[in-house]
Structure 1
């Protein structure tokens, strides 16, 4: 049973270091469910025209009865299965066969409207409620969305038009959103054309996102691939993500609502991913980070054809923190801005935020990176009242293109660097020593030890 197998991940919640036995190295093998039914058995028609929302709802309601019998699988065979939003249940596997395409209806009336997430206080795009995700889970345990490279297509064009024309009644839906759940797996799928986020685990623990291909057109507005949000013990690996805005974005709530909810995103392991982000960042932290983001390991990633490579975003009024981030073994190509950290990003949900809630950004290590055709190496713009500290750069070589207006630009930031080309700003160019806060973090890596002890 998946719960028993995933208990190995639970120990990571108290980890003080990320190493070779970390989150993605503790992934168990999934056992088949003892019971399986096909969506066809509930009257679904895979012609791309018949609406199958009731069939999905009825099938999942039926499969609830197997929760105490080892769980069950809902099998989606080849075909085009049009549907509105529907809810999953615990101890369930939703399996999409090769050639199976779940298609999101383009009629907003077939998407339920739900209350805003408590850590955001309102819809993130317009005040009030939000459209529920196409595939939704709430307070679940042991839930799997997987397949033999089946496809989930959100048909996001109508939503992108509504967003661009400011005609949304509620904030756009996501494709797969699992809320307040534990032991969640999303794997072996192709995900296309999300209205907003493609995969959004929020308030979740023990999440595996593996072998996923996600894409949306370059001009799709603010579409994002994977968004771990106020979640812990998250593994993202072996994914290809090409999006209009951000590829992977870590979040944890918005201003006073995120501060009050107080659930951080922590213990996240990202590895072996290929990322493109047309107008945003391939790997983003924030700007909604009021609950905090910490203890993140990113390794062996390829970042291409994007506005920004690695970006940390926050602003006054956010509160929270971004710290203990270790990113290594990165290859970049055709990136406008390789690294960015800004304390002046993002709006506020309302006028009730505390302007004195200053975010903290510290203990960030970027190591073992190369870049080709980079326009700007780095732009670090901290907050005067809360400067960014302990930014540690090591063994970085970037090839800057001839049109670059400058290589580095920095303010209200301090850190350390060694073997970085082009040479960073003076306030990031201190040589570390045995007393510096990043010495322990990176010295073992310099000598060939893969362990990365998080300070």
Structure 2
């Protein structure tokens, strides 16, 4: 019964989101990416011997179908159709100018046999697997050096069957880092839309070293106690648009990354021009919107608006540490509703974990020009826990028009930060007590004196 009620809430929320009307910034990458590409050639996976009984392994069928379609890449591209059924498979790779299209009753199932997920070399910006030294298992659906790739469907499903991986992780019996559900690497023009993703072994959707990425109208679900099942993690990627999504997982709903310590510093591929809008969900042990902790290549120009987080450990979180280097700057987050969140706004300057002993502890991150405005929160444990790094203050943290109903007697705890605030309740910490207006609006990213009391229109998206 509880599961049915939860599903109904998700459907109602998505209905509200789809009917809302929103303004879009002129520089948004959402305008640069087309979600639809008509392909002149199409085949069904059944033409290559696939059996949708949930038991027959179809890895070869997917591989053979995609190999066949490669001949159409320079003839307008091709489409691989997955009809109704339960299609068990190991990892398979996509090609350029391809649409992977799922029927609304199609389910692609990840094999529970780890040997069906090959092991790849570490990402150069990480230097090793994120969880273990050495390589990492390849994602279920994988692409490398591709152009113009679409993964879509009439709300078809991609299910990683991740529980076996979560158990291996908890038992410390893994030899390599767990796989993502979908990873696109070094690719341009990637669209992922109109699908449901379930039970990823690790992070769910991971565009890394990519440009022009659209993730639109997807639902991502995993148990709230599942380890590190982030929803969408743009990583060292630019011109990324994430919109109209519902995500409920065991970790961060969205986490923006750009490499790990000395490897991320050396690779030097930032994440930039990231637009996130109309996203709602539940972050079990993570945050609704996170930046970091792997941000050593830099993160900048992040615009996030119209966000709703429920029953989560953190609402908005920035994670970094000495040794990361890099920067997080020019971040603008607005129109946020939080309900039953333990910490609404959290900045952590001592988020440990390093890839090896070769990182430079003197590589200090720059955190500057972070604007958070128009936030409403109900049943919030603590308003803010904002902790910079001694000798490396985080600068120009600007909070505007924030109203939180807080249960803790000391709602704010701040150290080694500098910034400003206006119209914040409960009253913010002394380090941010100086008003934004009129003197400091130019110190705050995308704030100016005429934006003191912007209109709000988020109530229509909150289920009653």
Match of 2:231 in 1: 225
Is the counterpart of residue 419 in structure 1 residue 419 in structure 2?
no
Match of 1:48 in 2: 54
Is the counterpart of residue 32 in structure 1 residue 32 in structure 2?
no
User: Given the superposition, is the C-alpha separation of residues 61 and 300 from structure 1 closer, same or farther in structure 2, using an over 3 Å criterion?
Assistant: same
Match of 1:438 in 2: 443
Question: SS of 1:89's equivalent?
Answer: coil
Is the counterpart of residue 251 in structure 1 residue 249 in structure 2?
no
How far, CA to CA, are the matches of 1:158 and 1:202 in structure 2? 25
Match of 1:453 in 2: none
Shift of 1:23: 1.8
Match of 1:289 in 2: 295
Shift of 1:223: 1.1
Shift of 1:385: 1.8
Is the counterpart of residue 360 in structure 1 residue 376 in structure 2?
no
How many pairs does the alignment contain? 431
Deviation per CA, 1:200-237: give whole Å up to 9, x if none. Answer: 00000000000000010011011110000000000000
Deviation per CA, 1:152-193: give whole Å up to 9, x if none. Answer: 000000100010111101000000000000000000000000
Q: How does 1:187-202 map to 2 (within 5 A)?
A: 187-202=193-208
Is the counterpart of residue 170 in structure 1 residue 170 in structure 2?
no
Q: Which residue of 93, 105, 109 corresponds with 2:111? A: 105
Question: SS of 1:168's equivalent?
Answer: coil
Contact 1:365–1:438 at 8 Å: present in 2 too?
no
Structure 1: state its 5+ residue gaps.
Answer: 1-17, 451-455
User: Given the superposition, is the C-alpha separation of residues 227 and 215 from structure 1 closer, same or farther in structure 2, using an over 3 Å criterion?
Assistant: same
How large is the RMSD of aligned CA atoms in angstroms? 1.4
Shift of 1:275: 2.1
Q: How does 1:7-406 map to 2 (within 5 A)?
A: 19-401=25-407, 404-406=408-410
Q: TM-score, normalised by structure 2?
A: 0.91
Question: SS of 1:348's equivalent?
Answer: coil
Match of 1:9 in 2: none
Contact 1:390–1:437 at 8 Å: present in 2 too?
no
Question: SS of 2:356's equivalent?
Answer: coil
Structure 2: state its 5+ residue gaps.
Answer: 1-23, 457-464
Question: SS of 1:55's equivalent?
Answer: helix
User: Given the superposition, is the C-alpha separation of residues 266 and 440 from structure 1 closer, same or farther in structure 2, using an over 3 Å criterion?
Assistant: closer
Contact 2:33–2:189 at 8 Å: present in 1 too?
no
Deviation per CA, 1:285-332: give whole Å up to 9, x if none. Answer: 000000000000000111111000000000000000111000000000
How far, CA to CA, are the matches of 2:36 and 2:197 in structure 1? 21
How far, CA to CA, are the matches of 2:227 and 2:444 in structure 1? 41
Question: SS of 1:390's equivalent?
Answer: strand
Q: TM-score, normalised by structure 1?
A: 0.93
Question: SS of 1:159's equivalent?
Answer: helix
Deviation per CA, 1:323-367: give whole Å up to 9, x if none. Answer: 100000000000000000011003000000011100011100000
Deviation per CA, 1:123-145: give whole Å up to 9, x if none. Answer: 01011000000000000000010
Contact 1:72–1:92 at 8 Å: present in 2 too?
yes
Shift of 1:447: 5.7
Question: SS of 1:68's equivalent?
Answer: coil
Question: SS of 1:442's equivalent?
Answer: coil
Match of 2:10 in 1: none
How far, CA to CA, are the matches of 2:314 and 2:78 in structure 1? 42
How far, CA to CA, are the matches of 1:64 and 1:346 in structure 2? 44
Deviation per CA, 1:29-79: give whole Å up to 9, x if none. Answer: 513111000000000000000000000000000000000100000000000
Contact 1:99–1:150 at 8 Å: present in 2 too?
yes
